């Protein structure tokens, strides 16, 4: 029995499913998840000493690579000063200013601890500011495990084939309108019927939890224009794409170019540099509805934790234009290699992109993936054999077809060569799979 098998057996005696986040259990791909004990640059090391090229990158935060020396130094210095004070610290505003400098629509910012907390607060704030109840979300978009937003969600919920979650009441679910993604007519119809009671539309800036789905050209601007017309707010969830898809998230590829801003943004992952922190930000008049200035309450003892702030500052200060250019180059090279390997096996597929993030979808070349229904129609049964072949070859992929792939600034040509060399056998395994 391997060390990972032993650790997984022990974990199942302590934690539900042996994990603290469902996708880690490998329920979608099968097998025993390797337990990781170390990470450096582009590589992970498991409890049995096996090394993997990592294309999960902690679901985004390892933008610069694992154990980046500047981030490590900043964290060590912060730890020496103390782990948590329960009081304000200088680095909270410093990290906030770095975010503001990249996001034109962020005038005020509130640090929280998780992406779920950020979206939860954004939804509460939108309702408090507008005095309205209803929220529109899109099928397949995942915004954390907030009760009202788990309806028809993607990511781990899609993997588990659950339409929502037990424990979410009918009354709570009724406060959310779930629409097909990229469907302008559905948005217009929802506002025509419920416009005076819609507080906000929340959307992933580019969905990454049903696999990556690229917004159709102008779709996010359409959402901004429609919400503004009806007195509602647009909440742009950049928890996965923020400072990942580009230096200003996916908004940087759309709103910055097209000249519009969301009313509220949510951030996470990358701004913590590997430590747990998140934020929401946006228009000052909306953000100032938060306590202590306004009537919408939110608080958190560990919000703005000094160690996490130090990591986030080091991350964004070192995420230069050169880093983003390198990420774009390596991501494109990897996508080309996947296409070549799949084409060599006659493996029908499409690659969905959101800046430097991407995912593969089997059996979708004719139509692509534009919404959750498209994502569900793909030949998902091909992913498990593909995944395990790559894993056996020392490449760690997202353990679900409904997740994005990530590269880092540490994914040099040697790391890419290892991935590319593993692709032919994995493509054969996927092509041979049967439903």
Tell me the catalytic residues: 142, 237, 269
> Minimal CA–CA distance to 358: which of 247, 224, 243, 214?
214
Beta bridge partner(s), residue 360: 351
263 contacts: CB under 8 Å, gap ≥ 6: 105, 126, 200, 227, 233, 234, 235, 282, 283, 286
For 2-6, the CB contacts below 8 A with 24+ separation are: 2/32, 2/47, 2/48, 3/35, 3/46, 3/47, 3/48, 4/32, 4/33, 4/34, 4/35, 4/46, 4/47, 4/48, 5/32
Residue 179 main-chain phi, psi, to 5 deg: -120, 155
Spatial distance between the Cα atoms of 350 and 361, rounded to a whole number of angstroms: 5
Spatial distance between the Cα atoms of 41 and 62, rounded to a whole number of angstroms: 9
Q: Strands 357-362 and 395-396, how do they pair? A: unpaired
CA 287 to chain centre: 23
* Environment class of 96 (CB within 10 Å of its CB; exposed 0-12, middle 13-18, buried 19+): buried
> Minimal CA–CA distance to 191: which of 227, 221, 146?
227
Spatial distance between the Cα atoms of 435 and 416, rounded to a whole number of angstroms: 30
């Amino acid at each position: 029995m391997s060390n990972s098998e032993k650790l997984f057996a022990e974990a199942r005696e302590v934690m539900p499913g042996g994990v603290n986040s469902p996708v880690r259990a490998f329920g979608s791909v099968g097998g025993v998840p390797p337990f990781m004990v170390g990470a450096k640059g582009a590589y992970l090391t498991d409890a049995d000493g096996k090394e993997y090229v990592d294309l999960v990158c902690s679901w985004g935060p390892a933008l610069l690579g694992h154990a980046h020396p500047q981030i490590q130094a900043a964290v060590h210095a912060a730890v020496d000063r103390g782990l948590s004070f329960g009081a304000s610290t200088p680095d909270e505003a410093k990290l906030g200013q770095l975010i503001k400098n990249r996001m034109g629509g962020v005038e005020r910012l509130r640090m929280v601890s998780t992406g779920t907390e950020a979206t939860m607060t954004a939804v509460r704030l939108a309702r408090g500011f507008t005095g309205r109840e209803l929220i529109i979300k899109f099928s397949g978009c995942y915004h954390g495990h907030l009760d009202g937003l788990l309806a028809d969600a993607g990511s781990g919920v899609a993997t588990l084939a659950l339409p929502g979650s037990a424990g979410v009441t009918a009354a709570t679910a009724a406060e959310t309108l779930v629409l097909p993604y990229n469907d302008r007519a559905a948005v217009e119809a929802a506002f025509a019927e419920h416009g005076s009671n819609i507080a906000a539309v929340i959307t992933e800036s580019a969905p990454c939890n049903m696999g990556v789905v690229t917004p159709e050209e102008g779709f996010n601007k359409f959402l901004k224009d429609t919400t503004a017309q009806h007195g509602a707010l647009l909440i742009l969830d950049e928890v996965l794409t923020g400072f990942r898809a580009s230096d200003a998230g996916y908004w940087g590829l759309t709103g910055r170019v097209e000249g519009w801003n969301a009313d509220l943004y949510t951030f996470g992952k990358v701004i913590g540099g590997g430590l747990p922190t998140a934020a929401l930000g946006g228009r000052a008049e909306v953000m100032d509805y938060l306590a202590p200035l306004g009537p919408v309450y939110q608080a958190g003892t560990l919000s703005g934790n000094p160690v996490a702030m130090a990591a986030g500052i080091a991350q964004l200060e070192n995420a230069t234009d050169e880093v983003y250019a390198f990420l774009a180059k390596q991501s494109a090279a990897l996508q080309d290699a996947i296409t070549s390997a799949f084409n060599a096996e006659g493996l029908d597929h499409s690659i969905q992109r959101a800046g430097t993030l991407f995912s593969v979808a089997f059996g979708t070349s004719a139509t692509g993936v534009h919404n959750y229904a498209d994502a569900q129609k793909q030949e998902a049964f091909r992913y498990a054999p593909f995944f395990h072949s790559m894993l056996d070859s020392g490449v760690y992929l997202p353990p679900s077809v409904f997740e994005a792939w990530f590269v880092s600034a540490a994914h040099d040509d040697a790391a890419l060569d290892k991935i590319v060399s593993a692709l032919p056998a994995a493509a054969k395994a996927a092509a041979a799979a049967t439903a």
